[in-house]
Amino acid sequence: MFHSILVAIDGSADAERALAQAIDLAESEHAPLTLFSAVVMPPAGAYLGGGSSVAAELAGEAEGEAEALLRTAVERVPNCVSVSTVLSRDAVRPALIRQIKDGAHDLVVMVRAGAVRFARCCLAASATTYCTTVPCRC
């Protein structure tokens, strides 16, 4: 039924539930699973007064945390499921939309308002519409 599943994770308990659901679906559907996460950069004000060395250190820490999140998620995926990861350094919403299009995902599992949502994306346009119309704090 599903040919390519994408799950967006951010380390929250809700995202962990979404990941568990996506893993179950990928396993039962024999579909590849793509794990998506983004580097969350500190707000611009965090760089004031510290100079470029502090900014570089904060950016490195943020990227390291996102990489660790993806590694931990991959470890949860059974060996029978093909899994790949995407780590974006861009703003979450446009990066996620780009991944939906580029990855030709027909199912997106993500968190919204504390509940796991499934968005079946029959066409890239419908996935884009879904991601651009769902309220987001990204």
- Assign residue 64 the CATH number of its domain: 3.40.50.620
Task: Measure CA of the first residue to CA of the last residue in the chain; give whole Å.
Answer: 30
Q: How would residue 101 be classed by pLDDT, with cut points 50, 70 and 90? A: confident
Owning domain of residue 101: 5-133
In a domain, 138, yes or no: no
Residue 62 is predicted with a pLDDT of: 77
- Per-residue DSSP letters for 52-89? HHHHHHHHHHHHHHHHHHHHHHHHHS-TTS-EEEEEE-
The model's pLDDT over 4-26, given as tens digits with 9 standing for 90+, comes to 999 999 888 888 988 999 999 99
pLDDT at 119 over 70: no
What average pLDDT score do residues 53-76 get? 84
What is the signed CA dihedral for 28, 105, 66, 48, rounded to 10 degrees?
Answer: -150
Q: Is residue 33 part of a domain?
A: yes
pLDDT at 135: 41
Residues in the chain: 138
Q: Is residue 118 part of a domain?
A: yes
Does residue 91 belong to any structural domain of this protein? yes
Structural domains in the chain (count): 1
Q: Note whether residue 117 is domain-resident.
A: yes
